[in-house]
Structure 1
Amino acid sequence: MKKDRNGFGGYLSLEDAGSTYTAEEKATYLQLELGHLKQALFDVPLPPWPKTGFEEEDTVAAPGRVADYAASVEKAFGQEDGAPFSGVRHLVVVNQYPRIGDEYGNGFVHRRVKYYLEAGVQVHVAVVAPNAEPESYVYDGVPVLVGRGAEARELLRSVDYASISSHFLNIFMWEQIRDDLEGHRWFTFMHGFESRRWVRTIRNYRSPEPLSNGIKDSLTRQRFWREVLSHPNGPERVVFVSRWWRRGSQDDLELVFPAQRSAVVHNVTDTDLFRFQEKDPEQRYQILWVRSAANLNYAPDLAVRALEALRETRFWPQLQVRIIGDGMHFGAFEEAFADDDNVQVERRFASQEEIARLHRDYGVFLVPSRWDSQGVSRDEAMASGLVPVTNAVCAIPEFVDDDCAIVAGPEDVTGMVEGMVRLFQDPKRFQQMSRAAALRVAEQSGPEHTVRAEMRLMGMLREHDGHPATPVAGKES
């Protein structure tokens, strides 16, 4: 494997599998021998998660914590003290949730929760993590209960929910809630990280040890999901954020998700916050990049190279570029454009509200990628009317085409630059693509086609309208 300045940037050659085999023989023995070794591995149950040391303490304290939390939810929901609840409840179990100072923590889960609440559903949010300090807090009007699992178990035992959803399910979360899921309708969402194979992000491995750990993690996930799907309390449905990722997860986990146990519902784009505003033709010269540069999945290096190539065109003096973000690779922007007066580089976090305001000032959203199971930030920019500049990799062609985006091939910086130059040369085309981008998102990833669909799927809404489902009599909180 060849190493470059970005880590492992290439793939092993089949020649490394032996010089005396044909290509067919190499493919055959690699697949079959790997399959034999995996079967032996999968026959051994996963070891239990190490004890946190707080099990007894948490079990004793959980009923009180849950009672206090339930009271805070009822207060937030406008429910009178002691009044019986006649609506629909839903529990969201997640590994982290946004909070002040950490707004990026699964923000797209929070957006779902806000829509659930707007539809009249009483939502409980339980964060389950091994190193969590038990507490409760309110973020943007949503009461959140944090713990190491005992609180989530108490909720499952004491509250009647129309359904349960989980995001970023992992071994620890599963072990905490597994036995108490019996009798509940449980749906788990597959965003990408939960099932992704190490080779999808090979460029992020910068030395042999992380690479080895990545391979081990992939094998562990393959074993884990076999246990989850075969368990009597396994999910009613596994919900994927794109059709491509349903296929990709099957490849990565080497599992088949039957149609009756899977569904595809895209992540929602808040088209009220990210609303379309007609673009002035001059805004085609305004380029925005707002994204994490923590790894190479989102290709910050390709964004740098594309802007450097634009610097060599006659359009560069007309361009205004703004870069906002942070992460391991963000320094490449700072280094490359320190002397460019028309490039503003800001190492910081930008809130959703600020990003929506930024969208109104810019016309082109630079969003190259090497891996996306959907691409929420791109969809948000498109909803605002920005023309995205991206790559035809993974699920991205499921959400964009040449009518609404500049879509280059994988690693194709030249294609991205040539597409932007064509946009600079054709203001009418720019405005047409801007409108098409907003329309594409509204028709594919707007609330009615995403959150409303998943709420109906999970029994929170009646099948054909937006009204809360009839509650099921049972446990009382």
Structure 2
Amino acid sequence: MSASPSALLLCERLDIAGGVERFACELANHLASQGWAVALGSLDTPREAVRYPLDPAVRVLCGPQRPAAAAARSRLGRLWAMARHQWRLGRVLAAQIRSTQADVVLLNGLTTAASVLPRLRRDQAARVVCCDHNHFFARSRFWQWLRARQYPRVAALVSLTQADAPRFARLHPVTRVIANASALQAAQAGVVEAPVVLAVGRHVAQKGFDRLLQAWAQVLPGRPQAELRLIGDGPLLAEHQALARQLGVADSVRFLPPTAAMAHAYRDSAVFVLPSRYEGMPLVLLEAQAMGLPAVAFDCPTGPADVIAPETGVLVPDGDIDGLARALGELLDDPARRQRLGAAAIERSQRLFSPQRHATAWTTLLQAVARRTPVPEVLA
């Protein structure tokens, strides 16, 4: 191995504004800035379609472009389409591993890892690190079975949360916890007088925007100036817009597209809300707290309990829509409390979730695997 190690970071796709995609691009940029030879690979995302900024030194790999297939109508057709997709995903990404001969490979996401690992020889799998970027039980039993068979073959596993670490450790002794971090950071908490609540994410079932809209219908009475801003795109956008109309709250809800100016979105909001059904370690929640926003979230598996402390926000029992509405309303009605929670959120973020700590931990882990040395118990 050369003095400057090489790394290949693999994702299923890189053309959507998601947390995994942003993480991969930011880590690739950091490694490149440290002199690593870095490649970023996906199934079929060319460089010009990558959603997040990339250092020119980062190589981008992808398989051949194919026209989108028509959606299958039958359940059997959907299963067959999924199987074909996963077969192609595994074939393309495994070929990238063989062609780059990188010193260390990071597989991002369970479906990506489970599709690729069966195609790798033992010596190839021995330089792989896997990170699911979701809670341990997010996928079906089929994927969990594949994970149990394949993850013991790799060099190391990364859990985003303390809650999931023991579960991953049962699959592999070299399991380390590396929490996500926020690249955004406010120096001090401001007080936004306008009663604006912000939520960010793709319009998919996981993100729970349907639950948030139901809660919002309870928040709005008595607070006619309150506004809910939902930033994101996705397949359920039209359905959520229709739900807002059905609930009679459409005039108070703004559906906004993804934006690169997230710092402004946080600064213009009074409260952040995360209504997800499940997460890994939600980057948007980390960002909101780092920017001094008090946060309200369902205590879903996993992530919110790792990020929100009693002095920085409110954790609501998962699925308690009345409780979510109550927590949002109480914060909107109490600017002084919002100021206290926001200031504590900044301090906690700087202490536990700084970009420097995050980058150091990942670099230490990947360098140990690349150099075939023991992975330290403490990474940063």
Partner of 1:196: 137
Partner of 2:179: 266
Contact 2:129 2:156 (8 Å CA) reproduced = yes
Residues 358-415 of structure 1 deviation map (CA, whole Å, 9 limit, x = unaligned): 1111121121122122222111111111111111222221221221112211211222
Q: Distance in 1 between matches of 2:230 and 2:263?
A: 15
Residues 246-282 of structure 1 deviation map (CA, whole Å, 9 limit, x = unaligned): 34x55xxxx8235x421111123213xx545531251
Q: Does 1:321 align with 2:240?
A: no
Amino acid at match of 1:120: G
Partner of 2:378: none
Contact 2:157 2:175 (8 Å CA) reproduced = yes
Larger radius of gyration: 1
Contact 1:89 1:121 (8 Å CA) reproduced = yes
Contact 1:189 1:240 (8 Å CA) reproduced = yes
Q: Distance in 2 between matches of 1:237 and 1:86?
A: 22
Partner of 1:209: none
Q: Does 1:301 align with 2:243?
A: no
Q: Distance in 2 between matches of 1:229 and 1:332?
A: 37
Q: Distance in 1 between matches of 2:276 and 2:34?
A: 34
Distance of aligned partners of 1:326 and 1:359 in 2 relative to their CA distance in 1, 3 Å threshold = same
Q: What is the count of residue pairs matched by the alignment?
A: 331
Amino acid at match of 2:217: E
2:147 to 218, 222, 225: 225
Q: Distance in 2 between matches of 1:225 and 1:318?
A: 49
SS at match of 1:243: coil
Distance of aligned partners of 1:95 and 1:180 in 2 relative to their CA distance in 1, 3 Å threshold = farther
TM-score normalized by structure 2? 0.76
Partner of 2:77: none
SS at match of 2:261: helix
Displacement of 1:145 after TM fit? 0.9
Partner of 1:366: 273
Amino acid at match of 1:261: V
Partner of 1:171: 114
Displacement of 1:108 after TM fit? 1.9
Partner of 1:454: 362
Partner of 1:54: none
1:311 to 220, 225, 233: 220
Displacement of 1:197 after TM fit? 5.3
Q: Does 1:92 align with 2:92?
A: no
SS at match of 2:39: strand
Q: Distance in 2 between matches of 1:406 and 1:416?
A: 9
Q: Distance in 2 between matches of 1:311 and 1:344?
A: 10
Displacement of 1:167 after TM fit? 1.2
Partner of 1:151: 96
Distance of aligned partners of 1:332 and 1:434 in 2 relative to their CA distance in 1, 3 Å threshold = farther
Q: Distance in 2 between matches of 1:222 and 1:366?
A: 30
Partner of 1:245: 164
Displacement of 1:446 after TM fit? 1.6
Partner of 1:187: 129
Residues 419-448 of structure 1 deviation map (CA, whole Å, 9 limit, x = unaligned): 223223322211011111222222222223
Partner of 2:32: 117
Amino acid at match of 2:158: V
SS at match of 1:318: coil
Distance of aligned partners of 1:330 and 1:89 in 2 relative to their CA distance in 1, 3 Å threshold = same
Gaps of 5+ in 1: 1-83, 199-213, 464-477
Partner of 2:155: 236
Contact 1:95 1:173 (8 Å CA) reproduced = no
Partner of 1:282: 193
Amino acid at match of 1:256: R
Displacement of 1:106 after TM fit? 1.9
Q: Distance in 2 between matches of 1:177 and 1:405?
A: 45
Distance of aligned partners of 1:311 and 1:94 in 2 relative to their CA distance in 1, 3 Å threshold = closer
Q: Does 1:429 align with 2:372?
A: no
Displacement of 1:341 after TM fit? 7.8
Q: Distance in 2 between matches of 1:369 and 1:360?
A: 22
Distance of aligned partners of 1:225 and 1:410 in 2 relative to their CA distance in 1, 3 Å threshold = closer
Instruction: Please show how residues 321-400 of structure 1 align to structure 2 within 5 Å.
Output: 321-338=228-245, 343-346=252-255, 348=257, 350-351=258-259, 353-395=260-302, 396-400=304-308
Q: Distance in 2 between matches of 1:110 and 1:442?
A: 22
Distance of aligned partners of 1:359 and 1:333 in 2 relative to their CA distance in 1, 3 Å threshold = same
Residues 94-140 of structure 1 deviation map (CA, whole Å, 9 limit, x = unaligned): 322x24xx34372222122222223332312232x4xx49x666852
Q: Distance in 2 between matches of 1:137 and 1:421?
A: 43
Contact 2:189 2:293 (8 Å CA) reproduced = no
Amino acid at match of 1:227: R
Residues 63-104 of structure 1 deviation map (CA, whole Å, 9 limit, x = unaligned): xxxxxxxxxxxxxxxxxxxxx9753322223322x24xx343
Displacement of 1:355 after TM fit? 2.0
TM-score normalized by structure 1? 0.62
Contact 1:126 1:152 (8 Å CA) reproduced = no
SS at match of 1:326: coil
Partner of 2:348: 440
